[in-house]
Amino acid sequence: MKNFKAAIQIPYIAYFKMLILGALLTYTFYPTFAWMVDRWTVRDSYFAHGFLIPLVSLYWIFKKRNKLILIEKKTEPVGLMILLAASAIQIFSSIFRIYFISAFSFVFILLSTVYFLCGKKTIKEIWFPIAFLFLMIPLPLLFISEVTLKMKFFVSEISTHLINSIGIKAVRQGSYILTPNAVCLVGDPCSGLRSFLAFLCLGLVFAYSDRLQTWKKVILVATGLPLAIVSNVIRVFGMTLIGEIYGMDLAKNKMVHDGAGILVFVIALIFFIVLRKKLEGINASAR
């Protein structure tokens, strides 16, 4: 009841200021937002999860609403300095249309604005939900191409070794795996980069808990890369075996191919849930 009364006592002018600030940010960063949405929705996007990131951040902040209302607000000059620096970066990005840098400046502007207007206590509570927005920013295409190529070769090499280990002769040529009766192409989606970005988000979501110690949160987040590689190796290994045993027509079947990707993601999700439960169990047993 006390929190509710505190909420309704906030003057309407405060809401009006937030509305104006939101409108200004939307107008300023509209080209950047349009660029991000385009990258989120493109076919075989690595950042299809981008739509969910702001919703998760808003949910985390909404959960803290009662606590945030009661925190004393105090302006911080350091926040203004950071805000001005971030604004300068945005001006530079707008002039040269470097949307990747502009997107980063948007998150820094949000952080510095909250820090400047509301103070240390408020930013301490919500810095992580705001910083989580960095994960919605698409990486430069050149960087993605370089990393994807290297990860494809790595996944192909391990898969080829595994296939040979079970008695089926396999040879890797670039990102192709050749067996006596099949030719499997390890495409960009099977490189593991897309899975890693999704698992990184999952790891941070599961790690955002007061019930876990810092080192356990690090384990959850760091698990993303090896899990992405292992899961995609299993996927490529399985699809190559299907092509070798049952024919490439079945291996290329969209339902089978996409179903394997979904299955891998579900297994990874279950792994994250089990891992977090185990880490929480360590805390409980220690007490």
Q: Is the pLDDT of residue 5 over 60?
A: no
113 and 170 in a single domain? The answer is no
In sequence order, what DSSP letters do the residues of the chain get, joined into one string? -HHHHHHHTS-HHHHHHHHHHHHHHHHHHHHHHHHHHHHHHSTT-S-GGGGHHHHHHHHHHHHTHHHHHHSPP---HHHHHHHHHHHHHHHHHHHHT-HHHHHHHHHHHHHHHHHHHH-HHHHHHHHHHHHGGGGGSPPPHHHHHHHHHHHHHHHHHHHHHHHHHTT---EEETTEEEETTEEEE--GGGSSHHHHHHHHHHHHHHH--TTS-HHHHHHHHHTHHHHHHHHHHHHHHHHHHHHHHH-HHHHT-HHHHHHHHHHHHHHHHHHHHHHHHHHHHHHHHH-
194 and 133 in a single domain? The answer is no
Q: What pLDDT shows up at residue 2? A: 47
Both structure tokens of 153? 């070769």
pTM of the entire predicted model: 0.87
110 and 174 in a single domain? The answer is no
84 and 164 in a single domain? The answer is no
CB atoms within 10 A of CB 245: 13
Confidence of residue 284 (pLDDT cuts 50, 70, 90): low
Q: Is the pLDDT of residue 91 over 60?
A: yes
Which is more confidently placed, 260 or 47?
47
Contact predicate 121/71, CB 8 Å? yes
Over range 272-280, report the average pLDDT: 86
Q: What pLDDT shows up at residue 285? A: 52
Confidence of residue 125 (pLDDT cuts 50, 70, 90): very high
Question: Checking DSSP bridges between strand 176-179 and strand 182-185, what pairing results, if any?
Answer: antiparallel
The half-sphere exposure of 155 on its side-chain side, counting CA atoms within 13 A, is: 35
Q: Which of 99, 115, 138 is the last residue of a domain?
A: 138
20 and 117 in a single domain? The answer is yes
Q: What pLDDT shows up at residue 261? A: 79
Q: Is the pLDDT of residue 199 over 80?
A: yes
147 and 37 in a single domain? The answer is no
Closest CA to 232 of 272, 199, 276: 199
Q: What pLDDT shows up at residue 273? A: 85
For residue 122, what are the domain limits?
Answer: 2-138
Contact predicate 203/228, CB 8 Å? no
Residue type, 260: A
d(CA 238, CA 243): 9
119 and 148 in a single domain? The answer is no
Q: Is the pLDDT of residue 10 over 60?
A: no
- Provide φ and ψ at 74, rounded to 5°: -150, 130
Among 50-59, 212-221, 259-268, the least confident range: 259-268
Q: Is the pLDDT of residue 1 over 60?
A: no
Q: Is the pLDDT of residue 181 over 70?
A: yes
Which is more confidently placed, 17 or 192?
192
What is the Cα 213 distance to its own chain's centre? 21
114 and 149 in a single domain? The answer is no
CB atoms within 10 A of CB 130: 19
Confidence of residue 98 (pLDDT cuts 50, 70, 90): very high
Q: Is the pLDDT of residue 6 over 60?
A: no
Q: Which of 107, 138, 169 is the last residue of a domain?
A: 138
Over range 72-97, report the average pLDDT: 92
116 and 233 in a single domain? The answer is no
Q: Is the pLDDT of residue 107 over 80?
A: yes
Q: Is the pLDDT of residue 4 over 50?
A: no
Q: Which of 138, 156, 187 is the last residue of a domain?
A: 138
Over range 143-164, report the average pLDDT: 94
Number of domains in the chain: 2
Among 8-12, 38-42, 65-69, the least confident range: 8-12
Percentage of the residues of the chain whose pLDDT score is greater than 70: 92
- Burial class from Cβ neighbours inside 10 Å (0-12, 13-18, 19+) for residue 180 reads exposed
Confidence of residue 165 (pLDDT cuts 50, 70, 90): very high
252 and 270 in a single domain? The answer is yes
Mean pLDDT value across the chain: 87
170 and 250 in a single domain? The answer is yes
Confidence of residue 191 (pLDDT cuts 50, 70, 90): confident
16 and 57 in a single domain? The answer is yes
Q: What pLDDT shows up at residue 8? A: 43
